[in-house]
């Protein structure tokens, strides 16, 4: 049940994953969260919180990654990875933070960084 809900909430729109299905999924999740937290929240509030948590976790993970590759000379990155951060990273996956390994940066193609010859 939870895996199906996660696929609906985070999946791309399709014949099964519709806007109505996503709205219902966030509303259903809000009921579950409200039942255990004692604070009544709407599906939109839960969606906003999830979006903020993902963004903050991506920033933290990027900072950790940059800190590991740093050569020194600057301030030390002191933010620790929490249990919640680790769970969020498990859900969103490493590609969301690190990007696609060996991928092509299409933005550079338009700046002249890549030279193409056709012919």
Q: What are the structural domain ranges in the chain?
A: 2-69+77-99
pLDDT tens digits for 80-94? Answer: 778 888 888 888 887
Mean pLDDT for all residues in the chain: 80
pLDDT tens digits for 57-113? Answer: 988 888 877 777 777 666 666 667 788 888 888 888 877 777 767 666 665 555 555
In angstroms, how far apart are the furthest CA atoms of the chain? Answer: 67
Q: What is the pLDDT of residue 67?
A: 77
Q: Range with the lowest mean pLDDT among 9-18, 25-34, 81-90, 105-114?
A: 105-114
- Taking a C-beta distance cutoff of 8 angstroms, is the pair 42, 25 a contact? no
Q: What is the pLDDT of residue 104?
A: 63
Q: For the beta carbon of residue 25, count every other beta carbon within 10 angstroms.
A: 22
Tell me the whole-structure pTM to 2 decimals: 0.68
CA 13 from chain centre, in angstroms, equals 17
Measure CA of the first residue to CA of the last residue in the chain; give whole Å: 54
Q: What is the pLDDT of residue 31?
A: 93
């Amino acid at each position: 049940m939870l895996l199906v809900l996660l696929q609906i909430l985070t999946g791309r729109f399709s014949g099964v994953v519709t806007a109505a299905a996503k709205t219902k999924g966030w509303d259903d999740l809000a009921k579950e969260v409200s039942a255990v937290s004692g604070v009544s929240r709407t599906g939109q509030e839960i969606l906003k919180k999830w979006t903020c948590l993902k963004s903050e976790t991506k920033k933290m993970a990027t900072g950790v990654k940059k800190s590991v590759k740093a050569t020194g000379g600057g301030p030390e990155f002191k933010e620790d990875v929490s249990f919640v951060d680790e769970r969020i990273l498990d859900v969103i996956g490493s590609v969301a933070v690190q990007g696609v390994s060996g991928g092509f940066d299409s933005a550079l193609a338009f700046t002249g960084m890549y030279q193409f010859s056709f012919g």
